[in-house]
Amino acid sequence: MSLAPHPEAGATPLPGARPGRDPERAIKRGPRRLSAEVVAATQRDRLFDGLVHEVAAKGYDNARVTDICRAAGVTRPAFYALFAGKEDALLATYRHGTAVLLRLMDDAYADAGPDWTDAARAALRTLLEVLASVPAFARMALVEIDAAGPAARDERDLLLSRFHRFFHP
């Protein structure tokens, strides 16, 4: 199980699966041909990737907004137009990434057939394979989430409660 590198290949990539400065997501200077919504969505997506890579490399406490913006190729004003701060950006990235992960697990569970144990194994295999395929996201989501404070730990607890459905008949 590997995440497609680009959404057009059929899957939404997990944050951190691409570099933030991915040339295919560059926004050209000059007269805008893209709507403000498309520009903001592209910047947000790049910031997700930049944040994951910076937090995985430096730890949550040492990753600065400036570092995240540089990794994503996005300006600080654009960052603050999308997020209230670093914690808000991390929570948004975590929510987005875990939603992608749960969708993949749901698909694996449903595709495994009627036997509950096969379905649970398929969901767990998907979880482990996806996390192994994007180690920066795994580090951010499993290790650095604790450093981000109580709201982040609450998000982690909510995610863990959502896993419950895969492991009970």
Any idea which fold 7-166 has?
Answer: Tetracycline Repressor; domain 2 (1.10.357)
What is the 8-class DSSP label of residue 148? G
State whether residue 31 is helix, strand or coil: coil
Which residue in 142, 108, 147, 143 sits closest to 125, CA to CA? 108
d(CA 49, CA 52): 5
**Which burial class, exposed, middle or buried, applies to 98 when counting CB atoms under 10 A from its CB (0-12, 13-18, 19+)?**
buried
Average pLDDT over residues 129-150: 95
Predicted TM-score (pTM) of the model is 0.87
Mean pLDDT of the chain: 88
d(CA 19, CA 143): 20
Per residue in 43-91, pLDDT (tens digit) is: 999 999 999 999 999 999 999 999 999 999 999 999 999 999 999 999 9
